[in-house]
Amino acid sequence: MRLDWPGIIDHYREFLPVLPHTRPVTLYEGGTPLVPLDRIPGLIGAKIVLYAKIEGQNPTGSFKDRGMTLAVTKAQERGAKALICASTGNTSASAAAYGARAGLKVYVVVPEGKIARGKMAQAVMHQSVVIQIKGLFDEALQVVRDISETHPVALVNSVNPDRLEGQKTVAFEICDVLGQGPHFHFLPVGNAGNITASWMGYREYKMAGKLRDLPRMVGVQAEGAAPIVRGHVIEKPETVASAIRIGNPASWQGAVKAASESKGEIIALSDEKILDAYRMLAKEEGIFCEPASAASLAGVIEYARNGHFSSGEIVVCTLTGHGLKDPETALSTPHSQISVPPGKEAVLRVLGFS
């Protein structure tokens, strides 16, 4: 993290719902790199200028920290003693960390057996109370919404408007770095908070005179968990991209609005295409994101294949979370791991030198 970077609340104070005396609960989130992807455009036959916004470089390894710093700051300001959230893993990791930072109790409700191991390790390590339900994320979200309405626990899912306010700062950073808006912004869609917040950020920057042209927003769902694309709730969502295994997104309307207002769209792609993009980023660009994150690049590849880009267009994809969060999926990638006896000779043989 840059030495002069104070975290998103202090950096973008004038755009956020905070008071002059608000003291941020921060882990110095945001200020993530916008990395040019130099090799991929050539490989996919697109004459575009492609960037990845590496949100996995946030303190807990995902974009959730942008919204969480604000949600926890505000919850503390209002006197909350405990936080609660439902999660596919990243929100809970972030809530657990920021709750610990603020000295608050944290309860996380997650679908049993469906959370990537690294994310579970984070919730455990920060000493949140992990409640696994034998059900889906969507059911977990309903439970925590109900409880927070009647009990003194602050809900920090993205149905809390402070979360979206914080998350919108990703759009500010992209514009600040590029000196303009991208032509397209691709991102994965699960509960749909991030696309809603990113679009809000672009619109606010335009209104503030800091951006001339708005990007087209393209949200990517996994085929087995694509309620917005199908136009109905998916009862049993299924995808390898566990972070976006969601059948009834809370910000459904926000995502539809972002897509239609920006002349973009929400598309669904197969797990195979998402995993191809996941592996391409790691192999060709040295960037290790989690599977759900790669849905954004899978969208770019799909657009390139269908000839949807014009030459020279600037395209940004959000890589929402770090690859280390999900070691199982990473290790299921075909790779060479060769076991040899100790000593130089055997290694040289593998290298082809003897």
* Interface positions with ligand F0G (CB under 6 A): 62, 64, 87-91, 158, 188-194, 243-244, 290, 292-293, 320-321
Where residue 307 falls (left for φ over 0; alpha for ψ -120 to 50; beta otherwise) is left
Please state, as a whole number, how many other Cβ atoms lie within 10 Å of the Cβ of residue 289.
Answer: 31
Distance CA 170, CA 194 (A): 9
Using the minimum distance from each CB to ligand F0G, give the nearer residue, 76 or 194.
Answer: 194
Handedness of CA 294, 296, 300, 306 (dihedral sign): positive
Using the minimum distance from each CB to ligand F0G, give the nearer residue, 293 or 313.
Answer: 293
Using the minimum distance from each CB to ligand F0G, give the nearer residue, 49 or 317.
Answer: 317
- Tell the smallest beta-carbon distance from residue 214 to ligand F0G (Å): 19
- Tell the smallest beta-carbon distance from residue 45 to ligand F0G (Å): 26
- Tell the smallest beta-carbon distance from residue 42 to ligand F0G (Å): 26
Distance CA 81, CA 74 (A): 12
- Tell the smallest beta-carbon distance from residue 200 to ligand F0G (Å): 12
Using the minimum distance from each CB to ligand F0G, give the nearer residue, 49 or 264.
Answer: 264
For residue 218, give the H/E element and its range. Answer: strand 216-222
- Tell the smallest beta-carbon distance from residue 173 to ligand F0G (Å): 17
User: 116 to each of 40, 86, 90, 148, how far by Cα in Å?
Assistant: 27, 15, 9, 26
- Tell the smallest beta-carbon distance from residue 189 to ligand F0G (Å): 5
Using the minimum distance from each CB to ligand F0G, give the nearer residue, 216 or 245.
Answer: 245
Using the minimum distance from each CB to ligand F0G, give the nearer residue, 169 or 191.
Answer: 191
On whether the CB atoms of residues 243 and 89 are closer than 8 A, the answer is yes
Buried b (16+ CB within 10 A) or exposed e, 186-213: bbbbbbbbbbbbbbbbbbbbbeeeebee
Burial class from Cβ neighbours inside 10 Å (0-12, 13-18, 19+) for residue 288 reads middle
Using the minimum distance from each CB to ligand F0G, give the nearer residue, 62 or 248.
Answer: 62
Tokens 């980023």 found at? 281
C-alpha neighbours within 13 Å on the C-beta side of residue 68? 31
Q: Which residues pair with 107 in a beta bridge?
A: 84, 129
Using the minimum distance from each CB to ligand F0G, give the nearer residue, 55 or 313.
Answer: 55
- Tell the smallest beta-carbon distance from residue 218 to ligand F0G (Å): 13
CA gyration radius, the chain:
20
Distance CA 64, CA 190 (A): 13
Distance CA 116, CA 329 (A): 9
Distance CA 162, CA 52 (A): 25
- Tell the smallest beta-carbon distance from residue 289 to ligand F0G (Å): 8
On whether the CB atoms of residues 314 and 48 are closer than 8 A, the answer is yes
Using the minimum distance from each CB to ligand F0G, give the nearer residue, 67 or 215.
Answer: 67
- Tell the smallest beta-carbon distance from residue 354 to ligand F0G (Å): 45
